[in-house]
Every structure is written in structure tokens, then in C-alpha cells.
Amino acid sequence: MDSQGFFAKYRFSILLLATMALITAFVLSRPQEVTTGVPVMQISMEAILIVLGFAAGLLGGWIGTGGCSVMLPVLHFWLGFPAPVAVGTTLFAVIFTAISGGYGHFKQKNVDKHTAIWTGGAGIAGVLLGSWLFTFLSNKSALLGCLIGLVFLWPSFRMIWEGFLGFRNRKLTSGMAGTAQGQPIKKAPPVQLASFGAAVGILTGIVGLGGGYALVPGLIYLFGMPVYVTMGTSLAIMIPMAIVGGAIKLSQGYVFLSAALLLAMGTIVGAQVGAATIKRFKPYALKLLFGLYFLYVAVKFIGNFLGIPVW
């Protein structure tokens, strides 16, 4: 692919990345944000955040799981961000990742508008309720961590099971059997879509994980949506929920803005690389590996709440 073809293919992501780079440079040039408990933004920390975002985006591109599941625990456990700030910062970063990925899928017509409108609309209401509940948990860091850990159990068990199925039957290339590429899309009742979206939105407002961990399997297993449409529709649903939830967290003071922008820049690049290299990896092996990682993270969050140290 020549340079002209490369720019044409990734034009939107390149322009979004350039815009974010300018905004990030401006934010970093300002006086240091006063956010209790967060590390000082030095060059080494900035590099770590970009690499972390890249790794999260790479995972999303490979197996269709939102990068929040990678960013949030690393921010909290290994970089020292307080749980409420880790939640807000991660959710804000997802805004730009979802916009970048969602635009690409929309151009390829991989978005079911009926599902996106009903699920996303109710999801916004759920985010508002979840954000209100978050205010009662923000001063209870251990309890908030326990809730995050419980939420992590779902994607960990799902990914471990799908990875196990893949090893048992190598013909399962995605770990999601029964969702053929040419399968027609059945319009689900709006009430069911709205109920599902509201539930995901509430969790998004509370734990700040974007919702991809629940949207992807839910749309496939509950509503029988084909995999190729599920990925695009999930991102389309995540965009308004992430914008509303991220804006609320920012106004509440739970977003470390410079860190969120650096993470977002990394995820945009990582997601594109993941999408371009996905055919080089066995998806079921990646699912099993990261499923075990998410299980470890869940146990660590819950163990911290129970006073049981988990290394």
C-alpha cells in the first residue's frame, strides 16, 4: 500500500490522532493538574500511559474486548491511581477510541442502526443513573474496587470458556459459534434492547468500563446478531454512553485529563494495528490468555476489599 492509499484508509484516525496530540500538548503545557493520589506526570509516566493505551487498543482490535479492561486495573494497582480516578480517566479515554473504531465500522456498514438507537438511547439513561450511584461509592474505594472485580468476572469466565472451546475444536476461529457472517439480522423488540442498554449503562456509570465487555457477548448470545455487525454496533452504542459518562466524571473531578488523553492516543493506534494483524493470531488462544488475566484482576480487586492480599 502506497502512502496515498494508507492515508485514504486511515484518514479519520490520523486526523483524530493529530487533533488529540495538539490538545494533549496544550494540556501538558499547563500547570500540573491537582488530583489527589495520582502520580506526577513526567516523561517516563507519559510514555507508560501511551504504551498502556496502545496495548489496550491492540487487545480490542484482536478479540473485540474494550481496552478499559486493561487500562483500569493497571492504572489502579500498578500506577497508583485511586479507584474513582482510574474509573473516570479510563471512561473518558474510551470516548476517542469508540469514535475512531465506530467510524470505521460505520463506513463499512457494520452498524445496525435499530439496535444502536434503542440500546444506546437507554444506555445514556443508565449512565446517568450509574453516575449518580457512583457519587455514593467514590469515597468507598475498596467497595468500588469490589464491584469492579465482580464485573470483571463476567468477561474473564466468558473468554476462558471461549478459549477452551477453541482449543477443543480448532475450527472455531472466533470462539463464538453459530454466528455466521451471512446470517440475517433480526430486529429485536425495542423494550428488550432498551432494558439491556440501560443495564449496561448503569454498570458503565458505576465502574467506567465502557460496556464493550457486556455489549459484544450480549448482542451475540441474547439477540443473535452476527459477529461482524456486533463489533460495529457495540462501538456505536459505546460512543454516547462514554461521552455522557466521561463528561460527568470530568465535571465531578474524577478524570486525570492529561493521562486520559495520552491513553486515548495509544488506544487509537493500537486498535488500528490490532485490526490489521488479527489474522496472524489464534483468537481462541488470545481469549484464554487474557481471560486468565482478567480473572486474576477480578480476584485482586475482590481480595483487596476482603483484606486478603493478592500479589
210 in Cβ contact with 66 (< 8 Å): yes
| Cβ atoms of 222 and 197 closer than 8 Å | no
pLDDT tens per residue, the chain (311 residues)?
A: 566 666 667 777 788 888 888 988 888 887 765 566 677 788 999 999 999 999 988 877 776 666 777 898 899 888 989 888 999 999 999 888 888 777 777 777 778 999 999 999 999 999 999 999 998 887 787 788 888 888 888 878 887 888 888 777 764 444 444 444 445 567 889 999 999 999 999 988 988 777 777 887 788 778 888 777 887 888 889 889 989 999 999 998 899 999 999 999 999 888 888 777 766 777 678 778 878 887 888 888 898 888 887 77
Task: Give the pTM.
Answer: 0.82
CA distance 7 to 86: 34
Q: All 3 cell numbers of residue 137?
A: 461509592
Residues contacting 294, CB < 8 A, separation 6+:
69, 152, 155, 156, 159
Is residue 181 within 8 A of residue 228, CB to CB? The reply is yes
Q: Give the CA angle between residues 70, 75, 99 to the nearest 5°.
A: 55
Long-range contacts of 219-225 (CB under 8 A, 24+ apart): 219/115, 220/176, 220/179, 222/192, 222/196, 223/115, 223/186, 223/188, 223/192, 223/193, 223/196, 224/179, 224/183, 224/186, 225/112, 225/115, 225/179, 225/185
Q: How many CB atoms lie within 10 A of CB 308?
A: 10
The domain limits of the chain are 13-22+43-306
Q: How far apart are CA 231 and CA 215, in angstroms?
A: 9
